[in-house]
Amino acid sequence: MRLRRFNADGVTAFANYRGRLALEPALPPPVELLEDPALTEELPGEVEVLPRVFTNRLDAGLFFNDLVDRAAINLPERDQGLWAWLTLFYFDQVCPADGNGRRDPKDEARLLPILDNHQRFYRHLLVGPFLIVRAHRDLPKRAIAMLCNPLWKPGEIAEQLASRKELVTNRAVAEAATELYYDPTKDSFKRGAGSDVRGAARRLATLLNQLDLTWYLYGLSAAELLQLLPKEFDRFRTQVA
């Protein structure tokens, strides 16, 4: 299928489906909207979009960065119609059905791109990984602690750090979070990283907000940032060269 975007009526139609899905969880995705000429417009460049399964949020972020570049889309982070259309196209990936064919749309911002709210647009299940990868394009894996989960399940670390653009785009913060909470031998989180234990991701986000008042976080390396963290983080901290 050729890459398209929803117009304002298309975004509304998709939003209406999401609202109905919360009440009728077995309601099938309205895929007929994807090529409705009254609701969509085809983007220039004749870029093809194919169904696929994303390994994790990193895989999705890399894919959507490549897609946007191939389509030469200007200011993609502001293109609500594009992301709403892509969300419906990949709906089985962002809102999978359970064994009974029922789906849980959860928070509105996960499926509907709210691009004028800096605290919420990273919550979108496609925009979030797209922007995190874009911010760390030189080395996306530095942010793997925010990208190793399945696309439909961002996880506590991403939820805590992505609420502030100043944190999620910061190289030192991304590297420190990965150093603290990601276990490369399991390609997953260390035990307790997403819990309420002392030193876990929720506490890190709170502490970073406090440190930002007295330190220029963009001027720190990951090692320097880790050295500022109190002893409660020792349960996750590993030696940094």
24: how many CB neighbours lie within 10 A of its CB? 12
> Contact 113/127 with Cβ under 8 angstroms?
yes
Lowest mean pLDDT, pick from 5-14, 62-71, 186-195? 186-195
Its pTM stands at: 0.92
pLDDT > 50? residue 60: yes
Q: What's residue 59's pLDDT?
A: 98
Q: What's residue 116's pLDDT?
A: 79
Half-sphere exposure of 97 (CA within 13 A, CB side): 12
How many whole angstroms separate alpha carbon 6 and alpha carbon 162?
Answer: 26
What is the chain's mean pLDDT, rounded? Answer: 92
> Contact 133/61 with Cβ under 8 angstroms?
yes
pLDDT > 60? residue 43: yes
pLDDT digits (tens, 9 = 90+) for 162-220: 878 888 899 999 999 999 999 999 888 998 887 878 899 899 999 999 998 899 999 99
pLDDT > 70? residue 74: yes
pLDDT > 60? residue 18: yes
Place of tokens 């880790």: 226
240 confidence band (pLDDT: 50, 70, 90): very low
Q: What's residue 125's pLDDT?
A: 96
239 confidence band (pLDDT: 50, 70, 90): very low
> Contact 61/86 with Cβ under 8 angstroms?
no
Handedness of CA 13, 19, 20, 25 (dihedral sign): positive
pLDDT digits (tens, 9 = 90+) for 188-197: 899 888 787 8
181: how many CB neighbours lie within 10 A of its CB? 25
How many whole angstroms separate alpha carbon 161 and alpha carbon 205?
Answer: 6
How many whole angstroms separate alpha carbon 126 and alpha carbon 206?
Answer: 25
How many whole angstroms separate alpha carbon 97 and alpha carbon 232?
Answer: 39
Mean pLDDT calculated for residue range 83-88: 98
Q: What's residue 119's pLDDT?
A: 67
pLDDT digits (tens, 9 = 90+) for 219-234: 999 999 999 999 999 9
pLDDT > 80? residue 117: no
